[in-house]
Amino acid sequence: MENIINFDNTNNESEYKLCSLLFDTVTPDYNTNLQTLLSLVNQASDKSLIVAPEVCLTGYDYDNFEAVLDFASVANEAIKKASRNKIIILTIIERRDGEIFNFAKIFHNGGVVYERAKARLFRFGDEHKYMSEGADEPIEIVEVDGIKIGVLICFELRFKELWQKLEGADVIAVPSWWGVLRTEHFEVLTQTLAILNQCFVVASDSLNAECTKMSGIITPHGKVQRNGNKPCLEVEYSKKEIDVMRKYMNVGITWTE
């Protein structure tokens, strides 16, 4: 049984475009990264669902971690302002109650409508030495402006039990900082996620040298488009395409009659 939280559901999903972002994160020039993000968001169409790479504003800048944490409030306020008539999904590192987490956030119409801490830290990258791990329970489907959205953060993409928690989502966003040595894994897993859950997957990875650079959008039928050299790849969102696939290849995921 899917657990769905509703936010500002005006049932305008047919007007939306999906957008996967691909850009460099410059360390430690966080404000430059923020301006790059805001510029791409501003260029995107109204009624866009935009996914940016994991920690795209700061990277994992452990040498300047206090500065990373201080920048979170600046970033949150700027992105709230940019989210009018748009849905923006990314992750930001923040301190809460004495612990540090990597929070996935969904911004919409001037506010944060959903957030949760990363539930699977990547130990090969020493994330567990600097941050606390979140819980599985908050991983759920959130309905924003008529679109049922799920979020998996980078390494979480490898855990099949988390895929099942998002069964029934229309769009699964995957903000990532995924290692270039495992590029094929990222490509295969994002495509398989779309095919298995019969939904759109909007995956955004960094353009930085150590990352795959394989941002892209996959349809419920499994058709893949990668950004290539496009900072923002746009694809029309279609609820009908989801329903057609779920009805044609009925594996038990509900569709709209």
Segment 4-33, tens digit of pLDDT: 666 554 444 458 999 999 999 999 999 999
Token representation of residue 123:
């130990």
User: For the segment 160-197, what is each residue's pLDDT rounded down to a tens digit?
Assistant: 999 999 999 999 999 999 999 999 999 999 999 999 99
Q: How far apart are CA 177 and CA 53, in angstroms?
A: 7
184 contacts: CB under 8 Å, gap ≥ 6: none
Which has more confidence, 13 or 227?
227
Distance (Å, rounded) from C-alpha 175 to C-alpha 92?
Answer: 11
Residue 8: its pLDDT value, please?
53
Give the residue extent of every domain in the chain.
Answer: 4-248
Q: Distance between CA 106 and CA 128 in Å, rounded? A: 24
CA dist 250 and 246 (Å) reads: 5
Determine if the pTM surpasses 0.85.
yes
pLDDT given for residue 254 in this prediction: 85
Question: What whole-number distance in Å separates Cα of residue 176 and Cα of residue 117?
Answer: 14
**Check whether domain 4-248 has CATH 3.30.1330.10, yes or no:** no
